[in-house]
Amino acid sequence: MSLFWRIFAFNAVVLGAATALLLWAPVTVSVPVLLTEAVILVSGLVVMLIANAALLRIGLGPLDRLTRMMTTVDLLRPGHRLPEHGRGGIPELIRTFNAMLERLELERAASSARALLAQEAERRRIAQELHDEVGQSMTAILLGLKRAADEADGPLRGELRQAQEITRASLDEVRRLVRRLRPGVLEDLGLVSALTSLTTEFATHTGLRVVRRFDPGLPVLDQETELVLYRVAQEALTNAARHADADRVEVTLRHTDGTVVLAVTDDGSGTGMAREGAGIRGMRERALLIGAALDVTSGPRAGTRVRLSTPVSRKQS
C-alpha cells in the first residue's frame, strides 16, 4: 500500500471510530457544554492527533533522512547510500535515489577524468613551449649579454653583468616552472625520485624543513597512479607553504596490506577543520581517478595532514 493510501486509511478508521461513538455511544453534547463532555471531546481530539502524528512520523521518517542526505551529499565523497527501509513506496523511492547517486558519481568521475587529462595535456604543452621558446630565447639573450659584457668597458660592463644575472635568475625561474608543469623526473626515474626532487626544491624555495620517509621496495605503480600521488603531494606542499605557517613538513610514502599511502603532515597552526578550498577539492577529484581515498585532518595548533590511500592491484605490483 502506498503512503497516501496508508495515511488515508488510517484517518478513515479514526474518523469512522469517532463517528460511531457519536452515533451509538451514550455520549451527548449539551448546550452549554458540560465539563465531562468537554473532557471527552478534548480527549478524543488529542488521541486522534497523537495517532496521526505517530503514523506520519513513522511513514515520513525515511523521507526526512532522504531530504537530509540530499542537502549534504558530496559527489567527491562517493559511496554514501541510504538503507532501503520502510513500507509502501518509500523503499522504491530510496532505491531510485541511490541509483541516481551512483549514476551521478560515475558521470562526475568520468567528467573529472576528462578534465584532468586535458589539464595535464595543457600543462605539458605550456611546459614544452616555455622550454623550447622562452627558455631558448632567454639562453640566447644570456649569451649575448655575456659577449657584450666581455667587450664593454667601465660602468657599462657592470650594468651588463647585472642584466646578465637578472636574466639568469629569470631563466632559472622558467626552468622551475617547467619542472612543476611537467615533472620529467617522474617520467624518467619514477615516483620516489620525483618526490625527492620535489621536496628538495620545495625546501630550497620556501626555507621550510622537509623530512622524507619512503619505504624501500615500493611496488611498481602505473603512470596514472604515480602522477596522482605526485600532484597530491605537490598541492599539499603548496598549501603548507601558503596557509599553514609551518616550520616543518613531513612527507611519507608507505606500502602496507596491498595499499600505498602518501601522507604530507605539517606542524603549522591548523584550522580546527580542514577548509574545502579549490586545492583540496582538486586533490579529491584526482583521488577519484584511481579509486583512492583522500583524508584531510586539521586541528588548532596541531597542524594539517593530507593522507592519500590507493590500493595496489596485482597487475601493478
Sequence spans of domains, the chain:
3-107, 190-317
For residue 128, the Cα-to-chain-centroid distance in whole angstroms is: 30
Q: Which residue has the cell 574545502?
A: 276
Interatomic CA distance for residues 175 and 189, integer angstroms: 18
Give 26's DSSP letter: S
For residue 85, the Cα-to-chain-centroid distance in whole angstroms is: 29
Could you tell me the pLDDT band of residue 31, with boundaries at 50, 70 and 90? low
Residue 273 has pLDDT above 60, yes or no: no
Q: Which three cell numbers stand for residue 290?
A: 584511481
List the strands of the sheet with 303-311, edge to edge: 209-214, 248-256, 259-266, 303-311, 293-299
Residue 39 has pLDDT above 90, yes or no: no
Interatomic CA distance for residues 143 and 276, integer angstroms: 47
Predicted pLDDT at 37: 67
The answer for residues whose C-beta is within 8 angstroms of residue 20's C-beta and 6 or more apart is none
Please report, rounded to a whole number, the percentage of residues in the chain having pLDDT higher than 70.
82
Provide the mean pLDDT of the chain: 78
Mean pLDDT, rounded, for 114-125: 77
DSSP strands (E only) in 215-314: 248-256, 259-266, 293-299, 303-311
Predicted pLDDT at 315: 47
Task: Give the CA diameter of the chain.
Answer: 125
The answer to whether 91 and 85 are in contact (CB under 8 A) is yes
Residue 139 has pLDDT above 60, yes or no: yes
According to CATH, what is the number of the domain 190-317? 3.30.565.10
Predicted pLDDT at 296: 87
Task: Give, for 158, the enclosing helix (H) or strand (E).
Answer: helix 154-181
How confident is the model over 72-107, as pLDDT tens digits?
A: 666 666 666 777 766 656 677 778 878 887 888 777
The answer to whether 217 and 255 are in contact (CB under 8 A) is yes
Q: Say which amino acid occupies 69.
A: M
More confident residue, 197 or 61: 197
Interatomic CA distance for residues 105 and 95, integer angstroms: 15
Q: Which residue has the cell 586535458?
A: 118
Interatomic CA distance for residues 248 and 241, integer angstroms: 10
Residue 277 has pLDDT above 80, yes or no: no
Binning the chain into helix, strand and coil, the percentages to the nearest 5 are 65, 10, 25
How confident is the model over 208-265, as pLDDT tens digits?
A: 889 999 988 888 888 888 888 988 998 888 888 887 788 889 999 999 888 899 999 9
Predicted pLDDT at 23: 64
